[in-house]
Structures are given as structure tokens and as C-alpha cells.
Chains A and B, each alone.
Chain A
Amino acid sequence: MKCTYACGSQEHLLARRTFLGGVVAGVGAVVGGLGALATPSAARQLARDGKRVLVINMHGGLSQLESWDPKPGAPTGGPFRAIPTSVPGIHISELLPKTAQVMHHLALVRGVNTSEDDHGKGIYLMLHGRRQTPAADYPEIGAVVAKALEPLGGDALPGHIKITSGGGGRGNDAAYLGPRYASVRLGDGKPPSHSSRPDGMSDDDEARRQQFRRLVNEHFLSRRRTAMTDLYTYSYEQALQLMEQRQIFDVSLEPQKDQERYGDHAFGRHCLLARRLLEHGITFVQVSHSNYDTHNENFRFHYEQMGEFDGPFATLISDLADRGMLDSTLVVVLSEFGRTPNINQYYGRDHWSRAWSVCLAGAKIARGAVLGKTNENGTAVVDHQVDHAQLFHTYLQAVGIDSFATIDVAGRPVPLADPAAAPIKELLA
């Protein structure tokens, strides 16, 4: 019995896939179609604009006093000076001389108060825009962005990438959006797992087995075809496309000169890889720089760590700007929290979430701006206090996603961002 409505052409597959949405519940019901986030035409518009997000996670808790909000001369200020930047009137720590030169691209949020001094809970709320509760899990910013900004018709390349110093594999960070939007981890910047052919398999072998596969599938799909079979069949085509484009994960293909500019260390290479991925249209990339948890010897550690961070970060920002990508790319430099103004007996600073800073750049974020203020000793926010939920709204709005939209989760509309909070208007140009 021939089912005449099955056609199997690629265009048809895509068209059908689109109306059926991305993730399909085991029953064939559609969970979280793109329509939940934006009208189809708006989605197409977003895709065309090529909006992207880069998050740099300063792992362990960056000291705001040795970076974005220095307090030279204050009892809590530590030994480093503040230096002027490319924006008159804005000063940052002298540990960031190159970053100071790109300040006109950046926005500093100096009034962050997240009231959470635990590493795990701190990074959770910064990446999820919500406090962690046992009874509900939410997707990370990367998954939300990958879903909301997914080009219509899908993409072979993963939309949510984390460059890690550890292993590869898939992250468990997409919650109800489903594994399709979970991060693909590039362990130490290496390409995704299993993305090259088994040893001894030639081009011809590959072509032959794919031809077999398509033949077998056509035969079956002519009798029974559903959204799920389409998604499954399509995933093999995506895999082939990814294998063909595998070189975009290979940072060694970047010009030698750029590799030198970014520096011969993991963070530099990861930043260059991030640039490469964003240039190739990857929607979300997260890079980490470790480790800022400086309970001991805060100043020596920050001197070294900031030294390593400053060059690649400033280079990346100017490259994005020079290549015209900064207008469409949001850059966020965040941490799980800041560090105590009080200097402990080991010359260290401890966890401090009451008054710290986040640095933003690109997309709709205001340029060369500072929002919020801490008091003289940096112990409290005195102006424009914001929290993780407001920041999360702001990230989404900065790349054109309606942060008040809801997503349909098995019949329940779940707000993308904490509905009790709102974006920080002052930051959005």
C-alpha cells in the first residue's frame, strides 16, 4: 500500500519539519514550536540578522575590585591603580590595559546584587536567570538562545556550544527545551565527538552507505511517516553536513598571525575558536576562564589571570567590531559572584554577591556606558541595583528575543525569563 502523501524530497522534509517544530514529545505532540517565541516572520528576520551570543564565564568568582569597579585608595581597594579608558571618565583596573582601549564598545554593570554566595547556586542563577529550586529546572541562557534564534528549518551545526577545558559530550542544560538545545561541549576546543569517519572508510564507502540508508528509509517512509521519522531521518543529513563542516571547529586553520595575537594558551585559543564559531554562524558560544576563586593571594592571582584575560578579550572585542559582527553579537562577561571588599588575613578575598559587576558588549547594549554604582568601599550598591533575573531579560532583549514570551511545555506556557523581573532599559540602546 503506497502512502501517496509521502514525498521525501529535502525541501518537503524541511517544510514539514518546520510546521512540526523542533522537539516532539513521544506522542507526536509538538513541544515548544518556534511559534511560541516569535511569529514565523519575526523568526525569519532574526535568523537573517544572524544574532549571536558569547558568554565568558570567569570561573570561581572574578573580583570586581581588580577588574570593572576598582576602588584605589580605599581601605578595601587593594594595591592596584585605576586607569583611564577610551571613554573619558570611565576608569577600570590597571590590570586590564588593553581592555581599557576597547571600553567604548563595552557597558559595565556595577550594581549587581544576587544575594547568593554559593558557587553552584551562584552560577545557576547567572546562567538561568532564576534561583535554583529542586522542583523545577530551567534551561540555561545558551539553550534559550539556541532555541529562540534557531534559523528557520534548523541547522546542521549545533546552536549551543561550550568550549571547556574538560571533556566533550552533551551538557544537561536545556531542561524542558530538550536535548536538541543542550550544549555540545568542545573538550579543550576539540571538534564534537564522533564527527570524523571511522578509520578505513573512504569517500566512496560513505557515499554507498548513505545511499543504502536513504533507499531503505524511502521504502519505509512511503508507508509510514510522521514528524518523528522526519526528525530522525534529518538528523543523519545534519550529521553529514556537520562532518563536511568539521573544519570550522579547527582553530589551527585560523591565520598564524591571529593565533599569535590571541596568545599561545588555552584561553587565547578558546577565544579565537569562539570568534571562528561565531563567524560561521553558531548562535551561542560559551568560553570559561579559570580560576578566580582567590581566597588566598587574591592580588597575585588576579595579576596573573587578568594578564591572561586582557589580551585575548580586547582582541576579540576589536575583531568583532572590525568585522561588523558586534552589532549582532552580544558579549557577556560574568561570574558566579564577585569578591569581598574586605581583604582577609591570607591576602585573599572571599565570596561576595551583594555588590559586584558584569561586563556587557554588542548587539543592542549601549556602548561605552556604566550603569550602577557601589559605595566608597565597594560594600554595597548605592545606585541602580540589578539582579540576575533583570540581567537575563536584558540578554534576551539585546538580541531581539521577547523576554516576556512564554514557551509551551507539554501544554503549559512557561515564561522564558522570570516574569516578576524586567529588562534593564538603561542598558538597551
Chain B
Amino acid sequence: MRGPAWLSPGTPHSGTWPTAVRRISQLAAAWLSAFTAAVFCQEAPPLRERIDQLVESAYVGQPARMVTDAEFLRRVSLDLTGRIPTAEEARAFLADTSPDKRQQLVDRLLASPAFVRHMTDTFDVMWMERRPDKYVSSSDWRNYLFESFAANKPLNVLIREILSSDGTDPALRPAAKFFLDREADANLLTRDVGRMFFGVDLQCAQCHDHPLIESYLQADYYGIFAFLNRTVLFVDPKDNKKAYLGEKAEGDAKYKSAFTQEEGSTLPRLPFGEAIDDPILAKEAVYIVKPEKNVRPVARYSRRLRLAEEATSGNNLAFNRNLANRLWAMVFGRGLVEPVDLHHRDNPPVHAQLLDLLAEDLVAHQFDLRYFLRELVLSRTYQRSSEPPQQWVEYSRQAEAVLVSLEQETQSLQQAHESIVAELEKLRKERSSLLEAIEPLRQKWREAEQAWADADWAVQQAQQAVQSAQQALASQQQTHATLAEALASLQKAVALLPEAELKAAVEKLQASQKAAEEQLQKLEKELAEKQQTLQTATEKRAALQPAREQALAELQKAQGPLGELETQLRAVQRSEIQAGDRLLTAKRRLKDAQWLASQRGGLEAYAAGQDRCRQLENQLARLDQERARLQQQLTATAASPNATSAADAAPEELQKQLEKLDAETKQYSEQLAEARQAAQQQRQALDELLAQLDERWVNQLALAPLKPLSPEQLAWSTLQATGVLANTLPGVEDEVKKKSPELAEQPEKLRVAVERALEAKFAGVIREFVSLFGSGAGQPPQLFFATVDQALYLSNSGNVTSWINPSGNNLAARLVSIENPEQIAEELYLSVLTRFPDPQERQWVVATLSQAGEQKKQVIRDMIWALLSSAEFRFCP
């Protein structure tokens, strides 16, 4: 039978793992699977539909329109493959008339090697935050990620490997980068493990309870810290570039508040979890390899492996939610909890129920990355446009209309939450009084267990000693027998041939045999002694057994309902967290609606101002028409003064009318100018308001945020747009085929090899983009900034300049060779912005080209540059 994975191999674990604890975890597992079954075993509609249902039922007002095919293509290509499509791909997709073409596209993208590369980029940056290499090279690490994503390794398995690899197994060594390159620093790791795997940044709780975030306690920080502070960096004394993780069997997580001076210490504990006791091991047995100078310590029980197991088992709410939230943020541009590493009661998810749904579904589908992303991007919610809807006043009115029901909802959620909290407190009290009552018994049991474990260890040692004594004896017996045989033959020989030398040999053999016999006796005696020791040890262990059993029985009896209580507590705790978040979401929504309703006056006034402007503009347009008509008449009259019919007015009359019209126009124009000025003033006042409104729409998931491209996305997309990628592709393909001819027959593998070769080819370009557009090492990668050096690079660098000048079959060369300016406009817009130009843009390109004359090449270069430098290119639609 294999021990739990967090016990290092070779652990004599039978009996060291308290049955009580085992029973509780079994119960918990049973409860969880029952829970999962209840939620998922009924025929549930696909995740994407359940997402839309939850989101759409909470809309206040109209959401933004759905994205066009072109927008969808650009967005989903960037989100799944990290680069925009080619003009050719765009044309094909736009021309495709099959109703499920979006789904087909998504499946195609998910199966492409570019998806694997983009996931590698994304998770590399997410977990390493562009830290410089220390002990594991970036290329080893990225290869490992690439292969993991190519094989669609479940994310929890991937993370388990990352949290548990100690760097000794060559296959998993790259996974140890997370720990090794942070030099196994317990504080840094506590912070980053908390942020990246549980969505909580506990850094401020290192020295005291978080001053602002009520739910971040110093004890939480040290709960994670306790899993990690025994892990040590072991640098190979012969090669200081090679490092491994070792682990000690001692080291407690003690802390003292810098504010209150209160002291505490904690066992390992995950966020939202309970403290985890170490298993009871014999004192002598806590190490597989004891710590010594230049020796990598290996503890028999690894708290770090325990962390890896507990976190990724699917039972930890914080872990599941964090992962679901981060995947959501990857494609939606922001998390349901944002910032993604600050999940706490004052920063609740924008939609708590949705987050719970995502987390549960992710677990139910074994943390399958491709499945999950596929569901997300096929939801209607993902396919909302990033252009804000314009019905502000309507929105504000509806907000007012739903206020009452929102208030009611909040109230009932509040009551529900309060009753759960009461239940929770009751259970907690029960449990703590029970725990307090049984503490002496538990202590006694632990002591008995410890004594038994020590005795058990002694038995094992004695067994080993007996075994080796037996082996020694057996081999001595063998020697003895061989000697006896040889002596007998030799004596026979002497009897036949009594030569002096033979006799001497007999004597010598006799002496040897005597010595062997003595040795035999000695070994027999030793064996007997060892057997005696074993006997004593076994008896001693047996003698301890009743006390141990009794202690356990007493403990179990006294514990009584503890197991059940804890299971119940865990369930209630989970409900409390979920109900609490739901309440907070509702409160946030209520506050938003109240704010929105309160802005109605301003919004209406602005809308009225807009209407007034429009009316006046219409009036003026009407006057313009009138004037044109009159002028036409006037011209006609002047041309044929004799043909005046009765219906026509005299020229004087017309002139008079025109004058009147001019006066009217002047009057309206003045009014319009005034109205426009007023609207302008209102607009400036409203500017902040409307920005906030956009924010709220985005938070409601009714409007897609504009997502800035990551440095990698920007680099790849620039290479794609300018046609550099397509230009390079044939050469790269030839190189790959030349290097590995066997790939010519394996199109799938060839595609992967080509993607990787492209990555290697443009590594320098990507590095340049990262240095300009990426956050500094160790800084959160989602920070957006626009600096002068970026604009200077894109405007003046040799790289960009060479890409936008004609070369080979790049975009500039293609455009220069096209005669028809309309076609140039189409190819330009499709290549750079993944859409056809609108009539205005078409006209603009045509007009510019018609004036270009000799300068066609330069004008095309500058148009490509202008599109590349536009905000539309910099952000994902």
C-alpha cells in the first residue's frame, strides 16, 4: 500500500497517520463528491449557457451589441493564439457563411500550436513575472510549459508539479523554477504562492494584521508560510549554478505583531482551510537525509508536498476560485475579482454566483484548460462589443426601477447570510468547546502514539539488524560448508597419497575451518542477541499497543460527533463564504444602481441639450435646403426672364424671401452655437460620469473592456500585420524540414516545429517589445502604461522601419504592387486591423493615394505606420 504522496517514499506510515484524521478526510471527500454529484450529475446545459443566464439576468438596461465577425475574429485570435490573423484568414472567415463558423474557428485556434505558445507566454509571465533566470533556464521552463499545454495537462496537475518538484528529477526539474528562482525565500514564496494560487496578497499581513483588509490576518500569512519555511535552497557545492530544494523537519511559523506586539504561531493552514497537523513520526525517523554541511536535507514528511496536494485536490475553494478567476481574466481582460490577487471581503467579485459556477465547473471538468477557455469564448458574454451603449438616460431610469427589488434582494441575502453566520458561530463554538474538552485526551493520544512510533522505529531497526545478522550467518555457513567439503576431499587425497605438502595443506585447512567455526559461533551468538533485541523491542512495542489503542479509543469516544461536526462546519463555512460574497455583490450592485439613479438629472439634461442641438441642426438643414431651392429659382428666373409663369414669384420677391431666410439662419446659427457651447460644458462635466458609467457597464459584463495587448501579443501582431511573419515562414519551414526530414510526413508535428522555430527566430524582437511594453521584473504583469520610449521605438527604430518598407512579399511590397486604390485600402485594413475599411476610410485612402504621385511607396509606408500606431491596433477590440 502506498502512503499519501506528501510522505516521502519509504515511510513506515502504517499506524503513524491517526485514524481519526483519516476518517475525517474520508468523510469530507464523501461529502464533496455528494455535493459535486448534486450539482453536476443532472443534465446541466453547457457552461457557456449557464454563464449567459447568470449574467443576463442581472443586467440593468441594454448591454452592448454583439461583436461583428471581424471583431470576433481579431479578439479571439489574440486571446487564444496571441496574434492577429492574416488578411487571407480574415477574408476566408468573413466570407464563410456556415452558421457555426465562430465555433469552428475557436476549435481551430485551440488546436493550433500558436495556442500552446500563447499559453506558454501567458502562464510564464503569470507565474514568473519576468524575473531574470537564476537556477532554471527560461528555455527549459518554457519547454516544460509548452509540452504540458500541448498535452493539455490538467492545470491542477501542472500546478502540483510546480509546487512539489524539488529539482532532482530531470523530467520535472523545470517545474522547480517557481521555487528555485525565488531562492526558496519563504517570505517571497508566501507572498507569491498566496497571490498566484489563492488570489490573496498577504504581504501586508507579514508584520501585522492587514491594516485595511479585515479578512487578511497575520495568521493567514503564517499559515502559508508554515508550509514553506522548512524548504531550503541547496546549491550543489561542486556547481553553484545547480540548485535543488531540500526540506527540514523542524522550524515553526512564529510571529509577533509589529502593531500590538501580540505573539502567535501556527501550523500549516491554507486560506479558508483548517490547520493541518504533522503526522506523528518516530523522533529518529523524521529525516530521510539529515541536514549536514554540503548535504541536501530530505524530511520524511514534506509540508511543501502537503501544500501541493491540499491546494490542487479540487477541495480548496480559494485555489479553485483563483484559477477560474485568472482564466476568466485572461480572455475577458479583467477578473471577476480585480485585481486578481486581492480577493477579500472589501473587494468582492462583480458576480459571486458566476465565480462559484466557474470554479465548480473547472473542478468538475478536471481543470481542463482547453475545455474551459472554449466555453468562455463561446459565451454571449464574451462576445459583447467594447463600444459602450448610448442609452444613458434609459439606463438610469431602469436603475431607478430596479432599486426596490435590489434592495429586497440585498435584504434577503443579508438575512440568509446572517443566519449562516449564526449557524457557523454556533458550530465553531461547539467545536472549540469539544476540542478544548478533549485536548488532554488528544495530548495523551499523541504521546502514546509518539511512544509507539518510537518503539515501532526501534522494532524496524532491530528487524533490519536481525536480517543483516542472518545474512552474515548464512554466508559464513556457506564458507564453513565449503571448507568442510574441501577438507574431506583433501583428507581423502592424503590417504591415497601421503605427501608432506598435502598434509600441511590439510593442517592449514583444518586451522581455517576452526577459525570459520569460531566465527560461525560468534555470528550465531550475535544473531541470538539481535533476535533478543528484536524480541525486546517487539515486546516493548506490544506493551505500548494497549495504551495506544486505549488512548485512541478514549479519544474517539470523547470526540464523538467531532468528525461530523467538522464536515458540517466545512460545508457551512463554504456556504458562508459564498453567501457573503453574494451579499457583497448585491450590495455593490445596489450601490451602483443608486448612483446611477441619482445621476438621472444630469444625464437627462445632457440628453435634452443634445436633442436641442439636433433640432437646431435640423432647422438649419431645412433652411439650407430652402435657400438652395430659392437660389435655384432665382438663377432660373434670371436665365429666362421672359418665360415667367404665373406660379413663379418675381425675382424681387425671391430676393426678399432669401433675405428673410438669411436672417432666420443667422438666428438659428447663433442659437445652435449657444446650444453647442452649453452641450460642450455639460459634456465636460459629464466626462467623468460617463467614464464611470463605462466602468459599471464593464463590471456588469454588459460591455467588453478594451484590453491592451501584452508585449508578446503586440510583437507577434506587429510581425503579422506587416507581413514579416508570412515573409519568413517559407524559409523557416524549409530549415525545419532540412533539419528533421521525417517531419515532412507529419503535418501536425511540422506545424509545432515551425511555430517553435518562428519563436526562436523572433526571440530578439520579442525581447525588445518586452523591455519596452512589459512591467519590471516581479511587478504584476497586467499594469498598463504608455511611455515615450515605446512611441519612439515604434516611430523611429530600425526594426519597425524595415518592416514597413517594401521587402520580399511583406505588406508594404504587396500594397505597392496593387494598382487599384480601393483594393489597397481593403488589403491594408484587413492586414492591420482585421476589418474592411468603412466608406470614409476607403475614401481617405483613395484620396491620399491619388495625390501621392511619385511618392506612392512612402505614402503606403506612412499609412501602414499610422494604422500600427493607432489605439485600435494597440488594444484588443
A residues at B contact (CB < 8 Å): 1, 3-5, 7, 12, 15-16, 19-20, 23-29, 31, 133-137, 156, 158, 169-170, 172-176, 178-180, 182, 184, 192-198, 205, 208-209, 212-213, 215-217, 219-221, 223-224, 226-229, 231-236, 238-239, 242-243, 410-413
Instruction: Tell which of B339, B388, B798 touches A27, judged by Cβ atoms closer than 8 Å.
Output: B339
In the complex, what residues of A have CB within 8 A of residue B872's CB?
A: 216-217, 220
**Inter-subunit contact A26/B334 (CB<8 Å):** yes
Interface-side segment among B502-510, B749-757, B775-783:
B775-783
Bound CA span A19–B688, Å: 8
Bound CA span A212–B859, Å: 10
**Inter-subunit contact B786/A224 (CB<8 Å):** no
Q: In this complex, what residue of A is CB-closest to B791?
A: A239
Instruction: Tell which of B387, B684, B863 touches A212, judged by Cβ atoms closer than 8 Å.
Output: B863
**Inter-subunit contact A220/B870 (CB<8 Å):** yes
Bound CA span A252–B687, Å: 46
Q: Give 7 closest A-B pairs by Cβ, nearest first.
A: A212-B866, A26-B782, A239-B791, A209-B862, A235-B786, A194-B792, A220-B872
In the complex, what residues of A have CB within 8 A of residue B859's CB?
A: 208
**Inter-subunit contact A192/B792 (CB<8 Å):** yes
Instruction: Tell which of B339, B776, B778 touches A174, judged by Cβ atoms closer than 8 Å.
Output: B776
Interface-side segment among B242-250, B705-713, B807-815:
B705-713
Bound CA span A297–B837, Å: 72
Smallest beta-carbon distance B208→chain A, Å: 12
CB contact under 8 A between A28 and B339, given known A170-B772, A209-B866, A213-B865: no
Given contacts A28-B334, A194-B795, A229-B875, 10 further A-B contacts (CB under 8 A): A15-B687, A16-B691, A19-B688, A23-B783, A134-B188, A137-B776, A170-B772, A193-B793, A226-B705, A234-B786
Q: In this complex, what residue of A is CB-closest to B344?
A: A411
Taking the complex as formed, is B459 at the interface, i.e. its CB lies under 8 A from any CB of chain A? no
Taking the complex as formed, is B694 at the interface, i.e. its CB lies under 8 A from any CB of chain A? yes
CB contact under 8 A between A26 and B783, given known A192-B789, A215-B844: yes
**Inter-subunit contact A194/B387 (CB<8 Å):** no
Interface-side segment among B179-187, B298-306, B590-598, B734-742:
B179-187
User: Can you report 15 A-B residue pairs in the complex whose CB atoms are below 8 A from each other?
Assistant: A5-B683, A25-B783, A158-B788, A170-B771, A170-B789, A172-B777, A175-B779, A209-B862, A213-B865, A215-B844, A221-B871, A224-B386, A226-B694, A231-B784, A411-B342
Instruction: Tell which of B698, B771, B779, B861 touches A28, judged by Cβ atoms closer than 8 Å.
Output: B698
Smallest beta-carbon distance A79→chain B, Å: 41
**Inter-subunit contact B705/A28 (CB<8 Å):** yes
**Inter-subunit contact B388/A3 (CB<8 Å):** yes
Taking the complex as formed, is B390 at the interface, i.e. its CB lies under 8 A from any CB of chain A? yes
In the complex, what residues of A have CB within 8 A of residue B782's CB?
A: 25-27
Smallest beta-carbon distance B65→chain A, Å: 9
CB contact under 8 A between A231 and B691, given known A193-B793, A209-B866, A219-B840: no
In the complex, what residues of A have CB within 8 A of residue B684's CB?
A: 12, 15
**Inter-subunit contact A31/B783 (CB<8 Å):** yes
Instruction: Tell which of A27, A136, A156, A195 touches B338, judged by Cβ atoms closer than 8 Å.
Output: A27
The SS class assigned to the A binding surface is mixed
**Inter-subunit contact A236/B203 (CB<8 Å):** no
**Inter-subunit contact A236/B388 (CB<8 Å):** no
Bound CA span A4–B347, Å: 33
Smallest beta-carbon distance B217→chain A, Å: 16
Bound CA span A314–B695, Å: 54
Instruction: Tell which of B779, B783, B788, B874 touches A239, judged by Cβ atoms closer than 8 Å.
Output: B788
CB contact under 8 A between A198 and B785, given known A12-B684, A224-B388: no
CB contact under 8 A between A182 and B687, given known A226-B706, A236-B791, A236-B795: no
Taking the complex as formed, is B204 at the interface, i.e. its CB lies under 8 A from any CB of chain A? yes
Taking the complex as formed, is B191 at the interface, i.e. its CB lies under 8 A from any CB of chain A? yes
In the complex, what residues of A have CB within 8 A of residue B610's CB?
A: 4
In the complex, what residues of B have CB within 8 A of residue A205's CB?
A: 858, 862
CB contact under 8 A between A198 and B798, given known A4-B610, A27-B338, A135-B188: yes
The SS class assigned to the B binding surface is helix
In the complex, what residues of B have CB within 8 A of residue A169's CB?
A: 771, 789
Bound CA span A176–B875, Å: 23
Chain B positions 284 through 308: 1 when the CB is less than 8 Å from some CB of chain A, otherwise 0:
0000000000000000000000000
Smallest beta-carbon distance A210→chain B, Å: 8
Taking the complex as formed, is B796 at the interface, i.e. its CB lies under 8 A from any CB of chain A? yes
Bound CA span A31–B782, Å: 12
Instruction: Tell which of A173, A196, A228, A410 touches B784, judged by Cβ atoms closer than 8 Å.
Output: A228
CB contact under 8 A between A180 and B840, given known A170-B772, A209-B865, A229-B875: no
**Inter-subunit contact A176/B779 (CB<8 Å):** yes
Most buried by B among A5, A7, A223: A5
Q: In this complex, what residue of B is CB-closest to A223?
A: B387
How many A-B contacts at CB < 8 Å in the complex?
Answer: 204
**Inter-subunit contact B390/A3 (CB<8 Å):** yes
Taking the complex as formed, is B790 at the interface, i.e. its CB lies under 8 A from any CB of chain A? yes
Smallest beta-carbon distance B114→chain A, Å: 22
In the complex, what residues of A have CB within 8 A of residue B206's CB?
A: 135
Instruction: Tell which of A23, A25, A216, A226 touches B866, judged by Cβ atoms closer than 8 Å.
Output: A216
**Inter-subunit contact B203/A232 (CB<8 Å):** no
Smallest beta-carbon distance B711→chain A, Å: 11
**Inter-subunit contact A179/B187 (CB<8 Å):** no
Bound CA span A20–B858, Å: 37
Bound CA span A114–B188, Å: 24
In the complex, what residues of B have CB within 8 A of residue A242's CB?
A: 788, 792
Instruction: Tell which of B683, B705, B787 touches A180, judged by Cβ atoms closer than 8 Å.
Output: B787
**Inter-subunit contact B865/A1 (CB<8 Å):** no
CB contact under 8 A between A412 and B786, given known A134-B187, A238-B791: no
In the complex, what residues of B have CB within 8 A of residue A227's CB?
A: 691
CB contact under 8 A between A182 and B191, given known A16-B687, A26-B782, A232-B874: no
Taking the complex as formed, is B55 at the interface, i.e. its CB lies under 8 A from any CB of chain A? no
**Inter-subunit contact B691/A27 (CB<8 Å):** no
**Inter-subunit contact A208/B779 (CB<8 Å):** no
**Inter-subunit contact A226/B776 (CB<8 Å):** no
**Inter-subunit contact A198/B801 (CB<8 Å):** yes
Instruction: Tell which of B386, B841, B871 touches A217, judged by Cβ atoms closer than 8 Å.
Output: B871
CB contact under 8 A between A7 and B683, given known A135-B185, A236-B791: yes
In the complex, what residues of A have CB within 8 A of residue B212's CB?
A: 411-413
Taking the complex as formed, is B66 at the interface, i.e. its CB lies under 8 A from any CB of chain A? no
In the complex, what residues of B have CB within 8 A of residue A212's CB?
A: 848, 862-863, 865-866
Q: In this complex, what residue of B is CB-closest to A169?
A: B771
In the complex, what residues of B have CB within 8 A of residue A172's CB?
A: 776-777
Smallest beta-carbon distance A157→chain B, Å: 8
**Inter-subunit contact A135/B203 (CB<8 Å):** yes
Bound CA span A335–B386, Å: 51
Bound CA span A229–B874, Å: 9
Smallest beta-carbon distance B856→chain A, Å: 13
Smallest beta-carbon distance B225→chain A, Å: 11
Q: In this complex, what residue of A is CB-closest to B866?
A: A212
Bound CA span A134–B786, Å: 27
Which residues of B, 482-535, contact A by the 8 Å Cβ criterion? none
Smallest beta-carbon distance A248→chain B, Å: 14
Q: In this complex, what residue of B is CB-closest to A16?
A: B687
Bound CA span A175–B333, Å: 23
Bound CA span A209–B870, Å: 11
**Inter-subunit contact A231/B203 (CB<8 Å):** no
Q: In this complex, what residue of B is CB-closest to A229?
A: B871
Taking the complex as formed, is B427 at the interface, i.e. its CB lies under 8 A from any CB of chain A? no
Taking the complex as formed, is B797 at the interface, i.e. its CB lies under 8 A from any CB of chain A? yes
In the complex, what residues of A have CB within 8 A of residue B790's CB?
A: 235
In the complex, what residues of A have CB within 8 A of residue B347's CB?
A: 411
Smallest beta-carbon distance B837→chain A, Å: 10
Taking the complex as formed, is B331 at the interface, i.e. its CB lies under 8 A from any CB of chain A? no
Q: In this complex, what residue of B is CB-closest to A237?
A: B791
Taking the complex as formed, is B158 at the interface, i.e. its CB lies under 8 A from any CB of chain A? no
In the complex, what residues of A have CB within 8 A of residue B778's CB?
A: 137
Bound CA span A358–B757, Å: 53
In the complex, what residues of A have CB within 8 A of residue B779's CB?
A: 137, 175-176, 178
Taking the complex as formed, is B327 at the interface, i.e. its CB lies under 8 A from any CB of chain A? no
